[in-house]
Amino acid sequence: MTEERFDAIVVGAGPSGNAAAYTMAKNGLNVLQLERGEYPGSKNVQGAILYADALERLMPDFREDAPLERHVIEQRIWMMDDVSDTGMHYRSELFNEAMPNRYTIIRAQFDRWFSRRVRDAGATLPCETTVTDLLRDQRNRVIGVKTDRHGGALLADVVILAEGVNGLTGQQAGLREQPRPKDVALAVKEMHFLPQELIESRFGLRGDEGVVIEAMGTITQGMNRHGVSLRFFIPIANRSRSASVAWWTISPARNRRRTGCWTRSRRTRAWRRCSPDRRSRNTPRT
């Protein structure tokens, strides 16, 4: 393949890569964006809450067609151990404003929408293309990238690495360090689809209002228009790196949320259901 030259190459089509590619393409630069996933958002598991102010600065009209689920009017915080919990909440009608600041989103849909806007602005985006290395000239300046797909070099005046937290190209090029186990967590996400009316009656909501619940100790929980997202973060430094072990670790917490209270024996470390009298006392309120 012959060499192709661009003003800028952006690696990754998550929010950072999309913001960079959009800004440059909108200002008339010839931008190539490369995404390893099947489509933008296919590799992402974010919860997710969109804090709108940054996007609003970039794209003031984003609310017109972005796939927003609910605007958040209430935040609950729970502190939980295996058998008990305490918490607080903040809810305000003021969050029912014309241009709310926080929304629940589904990243697979949101990233696809954002990426469409980037392409409308003029950038080119081939998916299923992984950047494997940076290209450098004789003076060691970055002049482009190598991919797993293109035989030839992709050259650019600027290369922006927006690969996310586990940026292997950046690490390989010596531009960033490998994340330390104490700084990262393993996250597992689960979505439960429920009738819209059930979500609204259970959480005291109308229309597009939403509630976010953050729980420290066991699980975290978020809400979309037709579903409730559960996200579990397990600090890697404290736990096994194995996903199956992580799943085993969180399963009792999931069951506890669904069916009531579970408790763990200090001696055998085995989980068992609480007795009925403890169950009613220990089940967190929703």
Ligand X SMILES: Cc1cc2nc3c(=O)[nH]c(=O)nc-3n(C[C@H](O)[C@H](O)[C@H](O)COP(=O)(O)OP(=O)(O)OC[C@H]3O[C@@H](n4cnc5c(N)ncnc54)[C@H](O)[C@@H]3O)c2cc1C
Binding residues for ligand X (CB under 6 A): 11-17, 34-37, 43-49, 51, 130-131, 162-164, 169, 187, 189, 231
Taking the least distance from each CB to ligand X, the nearer of 130 and 283 is 130
Residues 227-239 as b/e (b if ≥16 CB within 10 A, e otherwise) read: bbbbbbebebeee
Shortest CB 50 distance to ligand X, Å = 7
**Bridge partners, residue 210, by sequence:** 72
C-beta of residue 164 within 8 angstroms of C-beta of residue 12: yes
Shortest CB 42 distance to ligand X, Å = 7
Shortest CB 154 distance to ligand X, Å = 12
Shortest CB 13 distance to ligand X, Å = 5
Q: Give Dmax (Cα) for the chain.
A: 74
C-beta of residue 219 within 8 angstroms of C-beta of residue 230: yes
Taking the least distance from each CB to ligand X, the nearer of 11 and 29 is 11
Shortest CB 208 distance to ligand X, Å = 17
Taking the least distance from each CB to ligand X, the nearer of 26 and 278 is 26
Select from 113, 121, 132 the least CA-distant residue to 27: 121
Shortest CB 191 distance to ligand X, Å = 12
Taking the least distance from each CB to ligand X, the nearer of 119 and 189 is 189
* Residue closest to ligand X when measured from CB atoms: 14
Residue 15 is encoded by which pair of tokens? Answer: 């929010």
Taking the least distance from each CB to ligand X, the nearer of 103 and 262 is 103
Taking the least distance from each CB to ligand X, the nearer of 237 and 280 is 237
